[in-house]
Amino acid sequence: MDFGYTPDQEALRREVLDFIEANVTPEVLAERDGKDADGSTRPRGRAGPRMKELYDKIHRRGWLGITYPKEYGGQGGDRLTQFIVEEEFLRAGINIGLGGSGAPAVLAAGTEEQKRYFIPRLIRREISFCLGFTEPHAGADLAALRCRATPTQDGYIINGQKMYTTSAHSATHIYLMARTDPEAPRHDGISIFLIPMDTPGITVRPLWTIQNNPEAPHGTTYGEARTNETFFDDVRIPKSALLGEENKGWGIGAAALNLDRVGASRYLISIRRDEDIVNWLKENRDGPDAPAENAAIRDKVAELWIEAQVCRLMTLRSMSIVQRGGRFTYEGSAEKVWAPEHGVKTTEAITQMLGPYGQLLSSSPHAVEEGVFAHNVMGAFQSGINHGSVQIMRDQIARRGLGLPSQRRSRKPA
């Protein structure tokens, strides 16, 4: 099997790199980081005029929504092309992918009206979703959610709270999972809704993270300075906000999360640390005591690099299955176990390689690489929880991949 790229694919990569060199300017990157030309600031993730112009140029090249159907504003292309294009833009600090956007779920379960409304606007970055999943008492156990969507004659009334709704302060919509039948078993009676964030009754309150002060440099894995609490108080929505069938949201949400784990974004989250330390070691080779000349460090970096290639091959396998229309069951869960745990291992190893200087944050003038390695340490363990904890993923691998029975939970006598 040939794991390389064809000449046409390499030519595409070169074209993308040339475009990035010409268009991803320092001014664009400053605006991406929330700094406008007039000195004012905006939330990270909320596009300003330069970013909008850049996305418009990328869209005219046909590089947005590559695998989405043409009738919904996509290009009808293949996943490997999408991977190549997204990978290079992500390395340059520009996210053009639709992972985590809600678009896969809308395409899979939405009505024709929802597809024609949401997907073209998601592709063009006119709409963005935050994910309303986690709740204060439930954590990673989505089946324990209590946020209630009460059916009415013409729609639903939402009441409840969500935690860690990152981007809720900048997103236009929320992809909300709520309980529509409180009497149903845990995994039943759950529905998904697509709700504008300016709907009356929605309140967003900031939760400042450990990366807030000092602020994490761009390129930090899970370096967001802010996430949010989101409250719903008698939020009235129409029936058209329901995605898929009522009470069938668990299956829709699980399938969408699985698809969101496939692609350049998730892959790079896990292996960027490996690339960063290799580049740093290459650039700091002066003197006999340089870390790059240490045999133990070289051996450890080689070990980690091999594991990173496993991440790459697992991603290519998943893309191939989806591209061929195969049955995608446990593969995304397997990636979600291997890649985050590899990332944590790499982060810990880098800290040991760099010694005390590797612990200095971005506020220190002596920080290594503006403190990105130290900030990575603070964000690394989050990757084992986001988008499903690795413990839950292992259970899915056992049941869906190996056909093992569900875990029998002991019950204490009343």
* CA distances to 132, 143, 180, 185 from 189, in Å: 17, 10, 5, 7
How far apart CA 57 and CA 118 sit, in angstroms, is 21
Tens-place pLDDT, residues 284-293: 988 888 898 9
Question: Which pLDDT score, from 0 to 100, does residue 410 have?
Answer: 52
What's the one-letter identity of residue 60? R
Fold match between domain 7-97 and domain 261-401: no
Eight-class DSSP state of 112: H
Q: 191 - beta bridge partners?
A: 178
How far apart CA 286 and CA 117 sit, in angstroms, is 57
CATH class of the 129-247 domain in this structure: mainly beta
Question: Which pLDDT score, from 0 to 100, does residue 35 have?
Answer: 67
How far apart CA 389 and CA 385 sit, in angstroms, is 4
pLDDT band at 42 (very low <50, low <70, confident <90, very high): low
Measured over the CA atoms of residue 258, residue 252, residue 139 and residue 197, the dihedral's sign is positive
The stretches of 125-263 forming alpha helices (DSSP H) are 249-260
Contact of 177 with 203, CB cutoff 8 Å? no
Closest CA to 296 of 306, 284, 304: 304
Tokens of 110: 């939405």
Tens-place pLDDT, residues 163-204: 999 999 999 999 999 999 999 988 899 999 999 999 999 999
Contact of 100 with 176, CB cutoff 8 Å? no
Region label for 276, one of left (φ > 0), alpha (ψ between -120 and 50) or beta (otherwise): alpha
Question: Which pLDDT score, from 0 to 100, does residue 294 have?
Answer: 92
Count how many residues are written for the chain: 414
CATH of the structural domain 261-401, one choice from 1.20.140.10, 3.20.20.220, 2.30.29.30, 2.40.50.840: 1.20.140.10
CATH architecture of 7-97: Orthogonal Bundle (1.10)
Break the chain into its structural domains and give their ranges.
7-97, 129-247, 261-401
How far apart CA 125 and CA 283 sit, in angstroms, is 37
Contact of 5 with 13, CB cutoff 8 Å? yes
* SS3 of residue 130 by DSSP: strand
What's the one-letter identity of residue 52? K
Question: Which pLDDT score, from 0 to 100, does residue 400 have?
Answer: 83
140/399: higher pLDDT? 399
Residue 159 φ/ψ, nearest 5 degrees: -140, 135
pLDDT band at 1 (very low <50, low <70, confident <90, very high): low
* Distance from chain centroid for Cα 127: 16
What's the one-letter identity of residue 85? V
Tens-place pLDDT, residues 298-324: 999 999 999 999 999 888 888 888 778
What is the average pLDDT value for the chain, to the nearest integer?
A: 89
Least confident of 44-58, 125-139, 147-161: 44-58
pLDDT at 44 over 60: no
pLDDT at 46 over 70: no
Span 348-353, average pLDDT: 94
pLDDT band at 408 (very low <50, low <70, confident <90, very high): low
Residue 148 host element (H or E): strand 148-151
How far apart CA 307 and CA 241 sit, in angstroms, is 42
| Percent of the chain scoring above 90 in pLDDT | 61
Eight-class DSSP state of 166: T
Least confident of 29-43, 99-113, 319-333: 29-43
Question: Which pLDDT score, from 0 to 100, does residue 70 have?
Answer: 94
Q: Which residue has the tokens 């059916």?
A: 151
pLDDT band at 37 (very low <50, low <70, confident <90, very high): low
Span 391-406, average pLDDT: 86
How far apart CA 176 and CA 207 sit, in angstroms, is 19
Question: Which pLDDT score, from 0 to 100, does residue 39 have?
Answer: 58
Eight-class DSSP state of 358: G
Contact of 196 with 211, CB cutoff 8 Å? no
Question: Which pLDDT score, from 0 to 100, does residue 187 have?
Answer: 86
What's the one-letter identity of residue 66? I
How far apart CA 354 and CA 300 sit, in angstroms, is 13
Tens-place pLDDT, residues 91-141: 998 998 876 678 889 998 999 999 999 999 999 989 999 999 999 987 667
Span 196-214, average pLDDT: 96
Tokens of 159: 């009441």
Measured over the CA atoms of residue 401, residue 105, residue 252 and residue 141, the dihedral's sign is positive
Span 205-209, average pLDDT: 96
Question: Which pLDDT score, from 0 to 100, does residue 353 have?
Answer: 94
